[in-house]
Amino acid sequence: MAVSDVFPIDPSFPVNQRLMQKVLISDADSGVEQRALKWTNPLRRFKLSSRNLNTTEEALLRAFWLARKGPYDPFAYLPPKNLDRLISAIACGTGNGSTTVFNIGNSATPPYYYRLYTGAGTRNQAYKDGVAAAATFANNDGGKISTVTFSVAPANGVVITADIDRYLICRFLADDFGIDLEHFNIFTSDYEFQEVLRASI
C-alpha cells in the first residue's frame, strides 16, 4: 500500500482534530520539575466517525482498513477545506534562469510530506516574488516530495513560494476496527488516525 491511497469515505461532522506534542516531565523530591521536549514537530490526531453508511460504503471502509493492515500502512487523508488543509507562503527556492522544477519546502526532507491535492477546486498557487504565476503541481510519492513546475524558468534571484492544498499522511491508531449495524443495511463506524512524519512513512 502507498500514501497515494486516499481514505475513501468522507467522515461525518463534527471532525475532531487534536494537536499532539510529546513532553517528558520529571518530578524531583524537592518539588523542582524538569521538562524535556521529545518531539520536534507536533502531530495531528483525528477522532472521526462515519454515519448512515450503506452496504457499499461499509464494504469500502472495511476493505480499506484491511488493506492497510490496521495501523501498519500509511494513507492520505483530505481534511475539510477549512481545517488545517491550506498552507500559505511555503518557500520553494530562488530562480536561476534555467531551473523550472522546484521542491515544495525547498528541501527533500521537510518534516511532513506535503502531498498535494490536485483535484477539482484545488487552491494550489505558485508565486514569483509574491506575484501569482501559472505553474503545474505534482506529487512524487516515491521520493515523498511535491514539486511546482514553471513552463519558463524564473529569472535569476526571483523568490519562489507557493500556497498549497494538501493531504495529511496518516495511519490508523487502533489494531481493531468496529462497525455497528444501526438499522437494516445502515452502518456506523468510529475510528481514529494520526499524522505520520515524513521520515516515518
Q: Which of helix, strand or coil describes residue 58?
A: helix
Give dist(CA 4, CA 26) in Å, integer: 41
**Cα of 197 vs its chain's centroid, Å:** 9
* Residue whose C-alpha cell is 521542491: 103
Give the model's pLDDT for residue 106. Answer: 62
Q: Is the peptide bond before 14 cis (omega within 30 degrees of 0)?
A: yes
Query: Cell numbers 466517525 label which residue?
Result: 49
pLDDT for the residue 108: 64
Q: How far apart are CA 143 and CA 126, in angstroms?
A: 21
Helix (H) or strand (E) holding 61: helix 55-67
Query: What pLDDT shows up at residue 95?
Result: 97
User: Which pLDDT value is given to residue 151?
Assistant: 97
Report pLDDT for 117.
97
Q: Each residue of 143-178: pLDDT tens digit?
A: 899 999 999 999 999 999 999 999 999 999 999 999
Q: Which residues of the chain have pLDDT under 50?
A: none
Q: Report CA torsion sign: 117, 121, 126, 130.
A: negative
Give the CA diameter of the chain: 65
As given in the structure block, the three cell numbers for residue 140 are: 512524487
